Amino acid sequence: MKIAVFGCGYVGLTTAVGLAEMGNEVLGVDINPTRIEMLLAGKAPFFEPGMEEMMKRNLSEGRLSFTLDTPSAIHFGQLVFSAVGTPPKKNHEADLTAVLSVAESFGRFGSQGKIFVNKSTVPVGTSEKIRETIERNAMSSFDYSVVSNPEFLREGTALQDFFHPDRIVIGIEPDDLGVKKSMDKLYRPMIDSGVPIQYTDVRSAEVIKYASNAFLATRISFINELAEFCELSGADIKTVAKGMGLDKRIGNTFLEAGLGFGGSCLPKDLGALIEKGGALGFDFKLLKEVQKINKRQPGRMIQKLKKHLTQLRGKTVAIWGLSFKPKTDDLREAPSLELITSLVKAKCKLKVFDPVSMMNMKNLFVKNPTVLKSLSFSTNPYDALKGAEALLIVTEWDEFRNPDYAKMKSLMSGDILIDGRNLLAPKEAREKGFRYESFGRILLSDNVAPTKNHPTKRNVSGRYHLIVKKNPAVRE
Ligand code: UDX
């Protein structure tokens, strides 16, 4: 099929490259000339595993190309995908300018039978706005369809998610059988490999996307709230999450406690859903709490640091990981930003390391010399530790999972280790001499230690050894 994909960001580029790999002829469109130049030269504008290789292959085999030329892209595409951004406005409402601009071009340059496939994340009811815009700008009469086809791609595994999605959701007008045929044809390879496809009405498809991300965010805030409770009650959050996750109704994903969720989707979509609720006179009380819990996680890390360093001024702190999650260089809504800003405000010197996102961090703070002056970028994780009083683990990159504790100790001037992603084994970290703090983890031995009111001891085989208090009155 001939396909035009508008927007060459994460979603658009993954969609364009994936559809080309499936044998379609794809033209990616973007308004940014530098980006188009890069793409035509076979360079991906962001880090995503496998992307550049697959893009280059499809470019050289002639199934994929990129252009700035909107009219010819609309002429080219039998299917016209919108994968442009819908960034949040000040009030968190999704900004539809870019989507409606694609709709405007579709109206002006469209022709008989073309299908507008919306992959941009948009609030419920946007499809009607797209249709209005197409019709307002049409220069001639033609039959067309508007489809809502939300994406569920995760950064870092975007291509894998494209080819092996859990489901394909397609919102269509109930009687539009022609469009169903085209979408079935487009997704045939996936349907044949067993991926479920759900046809819905357009509005429900739009809500499915927001509801899915809001639910994932809710799970994360739930487990983070429970982690705080575990810290107070002496239970271990990882053990609790594992036990919960073994229940098939619950499952074990999105139950990792820590610094919370960031990225380009979860925070934005949660905000946009709450805002849309408000616009319709509905108050999403639960989701507002989810937001609040997430916002307090970076502050919790600083509290843990303050437990050991009462005075932060002038202290050197190392940070491992900057991106909002591993396998991406994306810093959008990353907890590292809030942490860095707060620590710089408290006059700390920061030594940071991230495998791929340090350049993005430099560019981000280029207009904030106060922050930039306090940051030093290290060439490897251990380099960041030289002279540091504390290490904060912020992103769960695999290379931080099995650190050389002896080397760490020899390089650091202090022994504070705060694990914002619960990566390390608490017992081992403490045995290696670190004052280790986590998000809701305990040492197994912590909660069986005898207390003043409960003097029970354990014998060598681990069984409880009862100590009867001498109380002659009771004996008689
Ligand atoms: C998300 C959705 O998963 C995807 O379906 C959607 O289309 C786009 O948004 P992404 O933003 O790439 O994908 O990240 P995701 O893997 O969902 O992680 C989001 C954030 O939650 C990350 O900051 C991650 O560190 C955090 N997270 C995830 C947790 O804190 N705990 C968890 O258990 C899982």
Examine residue 450 and state whether it is found in any structural domain, yes or no. Answer: no
Same domain, residue pair 361 and 232: no
Please report, in tens digits, the pLDDT of each residue of the chain (476 residues total): 999 999 999 999 999 999 999 999 999 999 999 999 999 999 999 999 999 999 999 999 999 999 999 999 999 999 999 999 999 999 989 999 999 999 999 999 999 999 999 999 999 999 999 999 999 999 999 999 999 999 999 999 999 999 999 999 999 998 888 999 999 999 999 999 999 999 999 999 999 999 999 999 999 999 999 999 999 999 999 999 999 999 999 999 999 999 999 999 999 999 999 999 999 999 999 999 999 999 999 999 999 999 999 899 999 999 999 999 999 999 999 999 999 999 999 999 999 999 999 999 999 999 899 999 999 999 999 999 999 999 999 999 999 999 999 999 999 999 999 999 999 999 999 999 999 999 999 865 555 555 566 566 777 777 887 777 666 665 55
Same domain, residue pair 274 and 309: no
Same domain, residue pair 285 and 337: no
Residue nearest to atom 16 of ligand 1 (CA): 154
Examine residue 419 and state whether it is found in any structural domain, yes or no. Answer: yes
Residue nearest to atom 27 of ligand 1 (CA): 261
Residue nearest to atom 25 of ligand 1 (CA): 325
Same domain, residue pair 195 and 217: no
Same domain, residue pair 340 and 289: no
CATH number at residue 141: 3.40.50.720
Q: Which residues, 6 or more positions from 161, have their beta carbon under 8 angstroms from its beta carbon? A: 152, 153, 154
CA dist 336 and 319 (Å) reads 9
C-alpha to C-alpha distances, 111 to 66, 81, 114, 115, 453, nearest whole angstrom:
21, 15, 6, 10, 81
- For ligand 1, whether the C-beta of 308 sits within 6 Å is no
Give the strand pairing for 457-458 and 464-465. Answer: antiparallel
CA dist 442 and 444 (Å) reads 6
Q: Tell me how far the alpha carbon of residue 269 lies from the centroid of ligand 1, in angstroms.
A: 12
Same domain, residue pair 274 and 416: no
Residue nearest to atom 18 of ligand 1 (CA): 261
- For ligand 1, whether the C-beta of 265 sits within 6 Å is yes
Examine residue 361 and state whether it is found in any structural domain, yes or no. Answer: yes
Same domain, residue pair 290 and 313: no
CA dist 428 and 424 (Å) reads 8
Total structural domains in the chain? 3
Same domain, residue pair 65 and 102: yes
C-alpha dihedral sign at 169, 175, 177, 182? negative
| 348: annotated active-site residue | no
CA dist 303 and 299 (Å) reads 6
- For ligand 1, whether the C-beta of 254 sits within 6 Å is yes
Residue 281: phi and psi, rounded to 5, are 80, 20
Residue 72 lies in domain: 2-200
Q: How many residues does the chain have?
A: 476
The owner of tokens 């969720």 is: 261
Closest Cα partner for 264 from 68, 83, 125, 15? 83
Same domain, residue pair 76 and 221: no
Q: Tell me how far the alpha carbon of residue 294 lies from the centroid of ligand 1, in angstroms.
A: 13
Residue nearest to atom 34 of ligand 1 (CA): 254
Examine residue 459 and state whether it is found in any structural domain, yes or no. Answer: no
CA dist 385 and 413 (Å) reads 8
C-alpha to C-alpha distances, 449 to 190, 287, 454, 455, nearest whole angstrom:
55, 39, 9, 9
Catalytic residue among 8, 230, 265, 348: 265
End-to-end CA distance of the chain: 93
- For ligand 1, whether the C-beta of 389 sits within 6 Å is no
- For ligand 1, whether the C-beta of 256 sits within 6 Å is yes
Of 167, 200, 233, the last residue of a domain is 200
CA dist 361 and 377 (Å) reads 9
- For ligand 1, whether the C-beta of 266 sits within 6 Å is yes
Q: Are 59 and 98 in contact (CB under 8 A)?
A: no
Residue nearest to atom 1 of ligand 1 (CA): 154
Q: Are 118 and 146 in contact (CB under 8 A)?
A: yes
Query: For a substitution probing ligand 1, which of 325, 357, 421 has the most ligand atoms within 8 Å of its CB?
Result: 325
Same domain, residue pair 222 and 277: yes
- For ligand 1, whether the C-beta of 154 sits within 6 Å is yes
Sheet strands side by side (includes 416-419): 375-377, 349-353, 316-320, 390-393, 416-419, 435-437
Query: For a substitution probing ligand 1, which of 261, 269, 322 has the most ligand atoms within 8 Å of its CB?
Result: 261
CA dist 333 and 87 (Å) reads 12
Q: Tell me how far the alpha carbon of residue 106 lies from the centroid of ligand 1, in angstroms.
A: 32
Examine residue 470 and state whether it is found in any structural domain, yes or no. Answer: no
Same domain, residue pair 20 and 154: yes
Query: For a substitution probing ligand 1, which of 238, 265, 290 has the most ligand atoms within 8 Å of its CB?
Result: 265
Give the strand pairing for 64-67 and 390-393. Answer: unpaired
Q: Tell me how far the alpha carbon of residue 254 lies from the centroid of ligand 1, in angstroms.
A: 8
Examine residue 461 and state whether it is found in any structural domain, yes or no. Answer: no
Same domain, residue pair 415 and 358: yes
